[in-house]
Structure 1
């Protein structure tokens, strides 16, 4: 069943330019009439996925809502109550389950969430800063003379000049191939995933139709995005590598064993002993690997490494876990300036990554992966051991991987990251946005 690309907001499928320049703009709603006016003004400018593989314009704008935002739009109670519990409660309320405790507690977040004014969000992405600002001006013009909607946050994101995220890893090399998107999967994209894992209105991996509350025209071609703002302690990560590797090559080896890829992007599965920059740059090879037959024990890519946790591929076949129902479509973008290359101390600047996880079922997709695969090791028979890059350290602070002549056991693993924001948002289809506006006509005419 082909996807209705013209009704799907573009951020779900669109290939990002390289480099790219983006912004997250967050708005609060004080008056529903103003908010509906904003939505109506923006609809002609919302970019669809109709030309996602070869866009005519190298920039796009998309819109999302928190549950509190939809409530402030005065949607009927039966619709508001019909959303998934994760979306209704909001990510801040689910901090204990997700492990957002201590420094990561929502009390310390600097990105607004549904309980602190995040009601509407605009995602802007572009191939140049000029194009980004042009799209932002569209939003500024739309909000003009609408006193009931206020801009409360703007966060610039993109890819650093190094074309790597702040810890030095090449990002964005793996993406699921979705049934109906058109074209053919690249090597390593696995068997195509059912569209209902990422979009409402389509069959999912359980064989059921992924649906939402209210009339079909409201939720079809929509989805949920689970947003995380992650502060990265770059100076601490650099110091850690120096402590566990006497030479640059040894440090790079430790970094690769923690991630599952060399920092160039080259997978350990295909080059376990040394980095291969040519392979890393080849899209026909850099994601073409699995674990079940070639590396079941994690001798190449450790079982507890980051990429093997968040994307087990075929590594869990034969177990009670069906990894295909927990798949995420991940969109990551860095924020903040680079820490100078030779700096070894914290300069106090906020820098890190904002990750948008596209999932049609945030409970069994994002929240499952975060709570069970990132912050628990039972599924790989590692007890309470957590992700070495982003996992909780109050549960476990050690990491082990196979090595010769004996395995490597790292104790005292520090917190390399801190959660600085998060929220589950709803991204309607374009017809869903039009349905919202049509509802407002009835609302304000009565």
Structure 2
């Protein structure tokens, strides 16, 4: 059953709605999940505006009392999933483990968070395979030393609404002693909503049970809400373990925040080295990702781009890989098929649904430009902030980085890695299945270099108030 009701307009532990018909021992009806939308931060369940513009504020807390005052000031300003529909801009917040400790949470509460979250993203570099150029020693200063304690995110449709909301967020900490602004990073959609490599962005988000957003064709059956929001049943039928007390954990979730700098020039040069014509280069670009740059999926448009299909959100994600098990249309190791194998047969046994993420990635810097060369990458600032949301974001991200991004064994591809976000070594390859002979693209490089990141907790609105009072 697809739930379309919203929670009561106050914060309480709403029970699962019972079905009006009596249960039959053999034909019992499934219970309807009602998410407490008034308590859940908007950025978890609501899509960002299109087009969008915004700011990430990275803050360090050195004064616990003023840190709690900051949270108290911010709580009424954080948009909920129930009240942001008519807003042109909103604010969300994530807090690191180090930040929660400085805010004075009880030791029993701190100990109830997962180990990976407590360790922090830099401390989990080995599990994330963040080595070489992606190692924490090369990260931007704001991400060094676990000092990003609070991340404020302002999302907006732009213009005056953005300026006003950004100023409002800034006002909450600018006068507080011991609250340091590590960086204010502006982001925004590029023309035609293209990412730094020129591909249409924002396609293929999961449908979530109990969310009152109409699923799009191709999203499949809604995934259990507990995979994304703490306090609700997950795919196993049981809620995940959550931070304690319940008011702290319930309706919260985790965010994996990662900043990548995109080497567009190196990517352009690589395409030019592999094909002598624009059409040939575009086909290779499509094979690497699994979609044409317009957003049209190769499985529906295998021979040529179809911009009209790419622009149609009711069609551009409505497909499976059932008739392409060997990757003749969509290579098994392409970025899209790695991040969501759908119905692909994988060698590493796993339930795809429990590794899905809500992606709120944002682009920053210069837009896509096909004329850029590798010699310009050092001076051209462009890239992506990946914001990956899940009730177990740390566990899911580490699985993806280890098994699907930087390993080819799950599709019997040996040492091959994700061609777009993988950490590559010299002479790495990418296989394009074809008849009679497959094609091997040699010399794949690290096209996105990690510049920092952190695991953050996104508390519910009641939890934020509880955190603000935690030191009393």
Closer, same or farther: CA 433–395 of 1 in aligned 2, 3 Å? farther
Find the counterpart in structure 2 of residue 359 from structure 1: 390
Gaps of 5+ in 2: 1-32
Select the residue among 266, 287, 295 that pairs with 2:324.
Answer: 295
Select the residue among 318, 321, 338 that pairs with 2:367.
Answer: 338
Question: Counterparts of 2:292 and 2:174 in 1: how far apart (Å)?
Answer: 47
Question: Counterparts of 1:286 and 1:33 in 2: how far apart (Å)?
Answer: 50
Find the counterpart in structure 2 of residue 191 from structure 1: 221
Select the residue among 251, 260, 281 that pairs with 2:281.
Answer: 251
Moved more, 204-213 or 231-240: 204-213
> Shift of the alpha carbon at 1:342?
2.3
Matched residue pairs, number? 438
What TM-score, normalized to structure 1? Answer: 0.95
Deviation track 1:50-85 (CA, whole Å, cap 9, x = no partner) reads: 045xx1111110111000000101211121122111
Select the residue among 28, 51, 75 that pairs with 1:43.
Answer: 75
Gaps of 5+ in 1: none
> Shift of the alpha carbon at 1:379?
0.9
Find the counterpart in structure 2 of residue 438 from structure 1: 469
Question: Counterparts of 1:56 and 1:282 in 2: how far apart (Å)?
Answer: 24
Deviation track 1:221-272 (CA, whole Å, cap 9, x = no partner) reads: 1000001111111111001111111111110000000000011110001111
Structure 1 contact 5–48 (Cα < 8 Å) conserved: yes
Find out whether 1:423 has 2:454 as its counterpart: yes
Closer, same or farther: CA 8–341 of 1 in aligned 2, 3 Å? same
> Shift of the alpha carbon at 1:93?
1.1
Question: Counterparts of 2:266 and 2:405 in 1: how far apart (Å)?
Answer: 20
Closer, same or farther: CA 370–317 of 1 in aligned 2, 3 Å? closer
Find the counterpart in structure 1 of residue 184 from structure 2: 154
Structure 2 contact 46–81 (Cα < 8 Å) conserved: yes
Closer, same or farther: CA 319–371 of 1 in aligned 2, 3 Å? closer
Question: Counterparts of 1:183 and 1:140 in 2: how far apart (Å)?
Answer: 31
Deviation track 1:334-392 (CA, whole Å, cap 9, x = no partner) reads: 11123654232315132111110001113431111111100111111112211111112
Moved more, 73-82 or 17-26: 73-82
> Shift of the alpha carbon at 1:28?
0.6
- Indicate the SS of the match to 2:428: coil
Find the counterpart in structure 1 of residue 53 from structure 2: 21
> Shift of the alpha carbon at 1:424?
0.7
- Indicate the SS of the match to 1:143: coil
> Shift of the alpha carbon at 1:101?
1.3
Find the counterpart in structure 2 of residue 204 from structure 1: 234
Structure 2 contact 93–150 (Cα < 8 Å) conserved: yes
Find out whether 1:382 has 2:413 as its counterpart: yes
Select the residue among 351, 354, 373 that pairs with 1:325.
Answer: 354
- Indicate the SS of the match to 1:112: helix
Find the counterpart in structure 2 of residue 313 from structure 1: 342
Find the counterpart in structure 1 of residue 131 from structure 2: 101
What TM-score, normalized to structure 2? Answer: 0.90
Structure 2 contact 58–182 (Cα < 8 Å) conserved: yes
Find the counterpart in structure 2 of residue 228 from structure 1: 258
Question: Counterparts of 2:45 and 2:286 in 1: how far apart (Å)?
Answer: 29
CA RMSD of aligned residues (A): 1.7
Find the counterpart in structure 1 of residue 42 from structure 2: 10
Question: Counterparts of 1:425 and 1:154 in 2: how far apart (Å)?
Answer: 17
